[in-house]
Structures are given as structure tokens and as C-alpha cells.
């Protein structure tokens, strides 16, 4: 019986602090982005989670040049291609994804197409190493829910 195997390797780090999503400007400056595209879905945007992130980025004198909020559940290649087209038109050099796996995966696929162009399916079953500098990507997952403080005894 064949076993399905999947390996995903990406250099990165995890930052976690109270109010951190509203203070992403300094980390993005350190990572090298100045013209940022926010990748999300309409529900996350309607919930008011995008504006504090944009404000935090812009407080560091960086520019959020666009918001791609057309990410559906389980996005396909056409969604990633649309996001990549917008990123290219806006001349972005950094991405922030806000939401669940669909938004984060759309941003990751967009990064591959920004670095390589062509058809995303060309990279589907191959180990991928970027052939050009990778724009910084900060992912803000919303699927884990809020951080809870430890319960105290009553």
C-alpha cells in the first residue's frame, strides 16, 4: 500500500503578543516589506479584523497598497492567479494574510507565482526552492480563536 507523503518546509518564526496584529509595521520593516498586500476573505474583513492590521502597518510608515478579499473556502488556482495579478499591478514587496488556511494558502501560492511565474501546477509535486528573493509574508491565523488566560482558582 502506498502512503501519501507531504513535506512543507519554510523558514520562519512565530511571534505572539497581546495586540500583535495591530503592531506589524516594525516586524515587516525588519523583514523588508514596504508596499504590502493584505490577503483575506470577506467574512474576516466584515468582522473588523483587517483595519487594525492596516493601521498598525501604516503607523510604521509602510503602505498597504491593496486588500485582496476575494478568497473563498478552499481556493483554487484561479483565486491565486487573481491575487498574483493584483500583487503585480500594485508592485507589492510584502504580504500579510489574515484568516484561515484559505487566505494563508492563497498568499503562499501568490508568493510562488511572484517568484516564478508560469502555472502553479508546475510546482505541485516538486520540492520547491525559490529562484528569486521571496517577499516577506506575515500570516495572522484566525482559526485558533482567542488566546485564553489561565483559569484562576475560585
CB 145 within 8 A of CB 134: no
- Which stretches of the chain score pLDDT less than 70? 1-15, 17, 126, 143-154
Q: Tell whether 51 is covered by a domain.
A: yes
Question: For residue 10, is it within any domain?
Answer: no
The residues facing 94 across adjacent strands are 36
pLDDT number for residue 131: 82
In DSSP terms, 35 is beta-bridged to 63
* Residue-averaged pLDDT of the chain: 85
Name the domain count of the chain. Answer: 1
Decide if 16 is inside a domain.
no
Q: What CATH number corresponds to the domain at position 106?
A: 3.40.50.1970
Per residue in 66-99, pLDDT (tens digit) is: 999 999 999 999 999 999 999 999 999 999 999 9
CB 36 within 8 A of CB 94: yes
Q: State the pLDDT at residue 1.
A: 47
Amino acid at each position: 500500500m502506498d502512503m501519501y507523503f507531504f513535506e512543507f518546509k519554510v523558514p520562519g518564526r512565530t511571534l505572539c503578543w497581546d495586540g500583535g496584529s495591530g503592531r506589524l509595521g516594525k516586524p515587516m520593516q525588519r523583514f523588508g516589506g514596504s508596499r504590502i498586500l493584505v490577503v483575506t476573505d470577506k467574512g474576516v474583513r466584515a468582522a473588523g479584523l483587517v483595519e487594525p492590521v492596516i493601521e498598525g502597518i501604516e503607523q510604521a510608515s509602510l503602505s498597504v497598497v491593496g486588500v485582496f478579499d476575494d478568497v473563498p473556502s478552499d481556493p483554487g488556482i484561479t483565486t491565486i492567479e487573481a491575487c498574483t495579478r493584483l500583487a503585480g499591478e500594485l508592485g507589492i514587496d510584502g504580504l500579510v494574510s489574515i484568516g484561515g488556511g484559505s487566505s494563508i494558502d492563497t498568499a503562499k501560492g501568490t508568493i510562488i507565482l511572484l517568484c516564478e511565474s508560469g502555472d502553479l501546477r508546475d510546482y505541485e509535486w516538486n520540492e520547491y526552492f525559490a529562484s528569486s528573493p521571496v517577499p516577506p509574508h506575515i500570516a495572522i491565523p484566525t482559526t485558533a480563536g482567542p488566546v485564553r488566560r489561565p483559569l484562576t482558582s475560585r
